[in-house]
Structure 1
Amino acid sequence: MGEPALRSATNLSLVLGPILMFQGRRLRRTIPRLPEASGLCTGLVSGASPCLASPTLASPPLNLLLIGESTAAGVGAAEHSEALVGQLAHATAARTDRAVAWQVLGRSGATARRARSMLLESELEFTPDVVVLALGVNDVLQMHSASVWRTELRELVSAVRERCGSVPVVFAAVPPMGRFPALPQPLRAVLGLRARLLDRNAQRLASELEVVFHSGAVELAPNQATALFCADRFHPSPAGYRLWAKHLSAVVETACGCRPSAV
């Protein structure tokens, strides 16, 4: 579906406004509020095993910084080792045959604008070699326009450059909200279309900026919902994070200019 068609389809939110508002209020009352992942927000993966203490390494690790919303914060997983950042570090280490040090700046409810503030206000444990941005769901829920999303995403990239230099940046695709089991119809369809519109704009922005990459979406079949979503049916389960991280790690590898390990 082209962008003009997506824009037209998302205008359904105006026609269906009262229904969508009712469904949204009901969803906020009924969806379980799960905690963010526990444990330290930094770690190290060496080979196939994540650990928190830095071993003696023959070469320095790849420094990975993940910034984002509740998925970056690990909602749906008990610990960061089985959430997006830990799974991404593990998948990247397996691809590159290189240790990966990671840090996550994640907060439930974060938008692109809030992520920028988080980055500028936080202390970084290292100078990252790559920064991954996992955002979009809250910008969709707050009905941010494509132009607002692009502007705030561009400003976030500028903040990354300000803090971290000319480091590669990877946009994780806006999650496919049209597949979220917790969302009733027609709310699911409308939010799914708006998510696709924002993701299309993120992809275009990545093509306009230097050393910025877009991951592309993970395609979800309807029968995958049970295994890939956690108890709230809105956030990924550890299996969902694992699938997403495996897909995303290929783009991280490309962004870093890493060569794949020998098979």
Structure 2
Amino acid sequence: MLYPLSTLALGPILIGQGHYVRRITPRLPEPEGEREGVTGHGPELRLLIVGDSAAAGVGVTNQSEALAGCLAAQLGQRFRLHWRLIAETGRTSGDVLRALVQEPESRFDVVLVSIGVNDVTGRTRDRPWLKHLDELSGQLADRFSAQLVLFTAIPPMHLFPALPQPLRWYLGLRARQLNGLLEDFCRHRAGTRFLSVGFPLEPGFMAADGFHPGANAYRIWAEHSARAICELAQTTAR
């Protein structure tokens, strides 16, 4: 109830602040570097990373510093890792779903998903959000043979330094609501897991735009993800 009431009460202020943030916030490019590869030694593991600008690595200059590169380097210490990145700035949950429909069928053991920030700013409603989560999980299991889908929690947008108040509070409120739905979805959907990453949103962890992760945040995100993936590998090996 608080979110729709806040939308009505703060509407003109939020719209004005939204235009202001888009006007003054630098638009950082997606980093250069490989978006797929094979690395490491050990048991075979196939990893797919899909999602938005954070998955794409916006905030650093090269994929080696981004989520995909950091995660590949860490998992390559234990596995013969085949990895691929399918991500693009601005994608909502629905956009990611539509992008995957265009991809040929393939096989991956684990899929790491980063969505939600653009659903918050784009005001995706509860029902479409849950529908997209369900269809995305189904498609990844059916067409990509995923044994595990890791959904990364939406970051705490109420702490994003690029956002003024009350816009920061408002978007943070919605991020927490969608996270609650996502966590509950993963709790009841077999083959999915909610991944909460507790990295600090301090200047040293944020990109220059105050909106995307920096290199230190991507490294911590990769550490959390690698730990969850290795736990799965241990479980399935028993």
Counterpart of 1:85, as a letter, is A
Structure 2 distance, partners of 1:155, 1:186, is: 33
Instruction: Using the TM superposition, give the Cα deviation of residue 258 of structure 1 relative to its aligned residue in structure 2, in angstroms.
Output: 5.6
SS in 2 for 1:16: helix
1:254 and 2:234 correspond: no
Which residue number corresponds to residue 121 of structure 1? Answer: 102
1:239 and 2:216 correspond: yes
CA 1:141–1:41: 2 relative to 1, 3 Å: same
Contact map agreement 2:46 2:82 (CA 8 A) in 1 = yes
Which residue number corresponds to residue 84 of structure 2? Answer: 103
Structure 1: give runs of 5+ residues left out of the alignment.
1-6, 47-56
Provide the alpha-carbon RMSD of the alignment: 2.0
Structure 2: give runs of 5+ residues left out of the alignment.
none
Runs (4+) of structure 1 exceeding 6 A deviation are: none
CA 1:255–1:198: 2 relative to 1, 3 Å: farther
Structure 1 distance, partners of 2:233, 2:104, is: 23
Contact map agreement 1:179 1:225 (CA 8 A) in 2 = no
Contact map agreement 1:9 1:193 (CA 8 A) in 2 = yes
Fraction of identical pairs, as percent: 36
Which residue number corresponds to residue 37 of structure 1? Answer: 31
Contact map agreement 1:180 1:225 (CA 8 A) in 2 = no
Q: How many residues align structurally?
A: 237
Structure 1 distance, partners of 2:235, 2:62, is: 28
Which residue number corresponds to residue 53 of structure 1? Answer: none
Contact map agreement 2:109 2:145 (CA 8 A) in 1 = no
Contact map agreement 2:199 2:217 (CA 8 A) in 1 = no
TM score, norm. by length of structure 2: 0.92
Which residue number corresponds to residue 64 of structure 1? Answer: 47
Structure 2 distance, partners of 1:162, 1:227, is: 40
* 1:65-214 → structure 2 map (5 Å cutoff): 65-94=48-77, 97-123=78-104, 127-214=107-194
Structure 2 distance, partners of 1:9, 1:216, is: 23
Q: Which residue of 14, 31, 34 corresponds with 2:8?
A: 14
CA 1:194–1:10: 2 relative to 1, 3 Å: farther
Which stretch has the larger CA shift, 250-259 or 22-31?
A: 250-259
Which residue number corresponds to residue 206 of structure 2? Answer: 229
